[in-house]
Structure 1
């Protein structure tokens, strides 16, 4: 039977190629161990397995340095085959050294730059990755790793210690070699509630298989608002809603819990399948007890249908049995008798068994609820406060004895209006005396006629120059003629001005004579 996909693992020695092949196949098909010597010394025969309904063949190769020609021949044979192929260039999560860079360059030469669309960069060591893979890539100081990532068709990360098959499914989905059947599987929406420092955010990251929520080991609330994140977990889409941790003071307020749950229902629209109450396994405080006692008031009689308990810090159990620890706290024992519970060790995020156990119990709960999820109408039907109905007695209202008013008519007397004694005004005529107006003493102006003497102007006596005769007057002669003509005009103008001035003085004398 021909495989539906051939995967070829490439890279330097000791980066986890063989372990990645075992993770893909779900069995120990290749020898994988920590050693200073090269474990895989030749190109392996294809190992075939059915993974998520698809027949997959995996080929492991030795370290690319020293075997580049043989590996290139193998890759060309795979490319010439009619079977779809995927080349995985494996890099260990660590500082991107020159040696790793040279290994990637060698793999690119083997595959061919034009065939990189069929290739993915596969990072191993996901169990020691503190942040998201994208953050690790962007933190490379030289930026070389980011440039190589852009050259390939995609990139992915494997946790070969305890990552499970979910990461394999995600790789096949991302690379386009597996149809997304998650849409046909029932989605699960989960809301995490509890006190700060109890591991709500860390539990959300464990469920989703990657760091989606900010998580720190302290008792202060790292999550300050209701947030959600989604991922494909074991073939289905899972949405987790992380809520702010309630401080002990807030837990005492049922109103605060009521509003926080309302917000989480809206974030998990159209409604969550399960509310997970996160409890720290070795720390049961008074605030926890108060919170547990409020659960029936918050969810009513249907609380057991939608609420689960998740004990965190399972790594601190040691040799102690969880059932023994539960029996040591009466409050917890009563709580577990009413609700399903599960245990998480968030230090082993790759342990998918604990996640499958939790999702399996949620599936049982959803099946018991006929596949229905919790909704806002159910929540509004529950009284958030324990209010006792008031015993209200009807008022004994007696009719008022109203008598008609005894209105007496007013004794109105007519007003005695006396006529006013108006005396005529004694108006005396004003004693007006005529004004004594004295005529102005106007002295005649002593105006003397102007003694204007005519100017004694003699025409210019210009001796003729000894100039040879020319036709017509010379320039100088023209100038003399012009000056003489101008002088005649000026004399006429002066005469007119003297006449005008004499007429003006004559009129002034006549006016003065009339005034006097």
Structure 2
């Protein structure tokens, strides 16, 4: 490292002009801190999209500050877009020969997890491992500590991230109260920087020149390619300009992965916050007149960003297909949404192609890429983003014939961006000879047939369930003062979250369970023992599972105290359940012996995903693999929404079902095992017989009927 224009004075390093770079996650308060250090009176700080260099005077000293874009707190470095990582690295180039200090800005009132620690470490080490020698942790929003000191906060239980972070920075930290200015805060910070520079031998931090050159070159090449792309797209639009048409009504369907911003787009298009920004679980149709045109927008459920179509629940796939038919005679445009603040890689492309493949290859002729969160681009163009992200995004743009558009979700008043989108839709329709997207007639009939069969079967299953509920009320289970529950299931099924929900605590934490965890608590007057177990791989045969993992799962029984024990088989609702999953569940459950099924309730997590749909519709849509599991458990199942832990009813109802199960098992034991099996299987045989009859009836239906309705808030199309 090079000496940086400073000279020793009275044992410290006197700096004539400070050079400081601010780093941190989004929302940490970097821009507010920069304004406070330089006493700048500005409007509410916006998200920093690109490096911003500011010069001024602080505590009587010249200061150059470089504010940099923040990363998402929960995102590792590979989850940050390439252009943002380049901007981070280039922040060093804005204060040559290098910064005296890097201020890592941390909100004092935020919670931090192990993943947040990894994210901070990975983003800082983009600059090299020596960066820590020149870094000071700056805590913002110090007033939120109230009577607690920052030292007490760092050492407090559960704040291991802060202890690690401060240790990495040589125990250098400072606290700022952003809401109230105090001049001593800035003066003390500058003195701390001088001490640090002195401790580093009078040197500032210099980025590796080769690395800096490579990043600059990558950005230069991306800008050149972006200019060529912009000219190519404009020429492409000019070719069709004389053939454009004006549509009196425009029908559009929004498609994309979860949290891509689809629901926000509806607010943008209609110019007001009319949409509840909850996850879209079913198709939502919005229609209004804009600039003399009737605009119809269909929002659809999203899929997981990197998972294949086979991992997506059948109900979600059916909703995507159904959306096309809810805006007859067909949509003019399919708007495929992507976030600009996330990278786009090979796994995202494969997932997206598979889900678009549900609509057929012709769908690409009617698709426009719609980038959301456009405010995060700053002065960059969308073409620069496309070129910096690499081949996968460029391939996707090519599949859409280089039709793309950017929306700033935070600027609902900018009608120009929406009118430009309408213009691009009309250009695409003209390019398609005035045609909208139509589903193939064969696919149309198959979707209708499948939907009818599912709804018929789900209604029958619901009737059987209601009959069982009536009979269970007549012979309700005995109230149990003590109860032991063992949660089983594949990894990421939601066992740990469900355990927390049942006990109404966070005692199980939120990390992946690698060993059995036992917790006790009082729930509804009962002494409840809940045991969380390690999950197995969802589709991995039991033969490939390590022996110690199987032993750990079996160990759960020895942790349960003497008395009634029930097993909760946890399955998440928002993903598919197929034959491989069934085999894995069967083999792992059979570790406990054949009678384990008689003591098991299927616990469906992610209950909020269902929306207004019934659990019976989900069961019928998933098919035979899931129904086999339920039949083995005597069709005992319960839904839990881990996002709604305050709802005590869902836990109360679960405990009642378990008490009924315990009572049923006691009765069965007294009658003999063969009689027990006969009794529990009787209702299932009735269901199966009814299903066979429904199948035959459905096949006899005229599939050309225009309308088919059910009593579950569903029209077929």
Shorter-chain TM band: 0.3 to 0.5
Which has the larger share of helix? Answer: 2
TM value normalised by structure 2: 0.26
TM value normalised by structure 1: 0.35
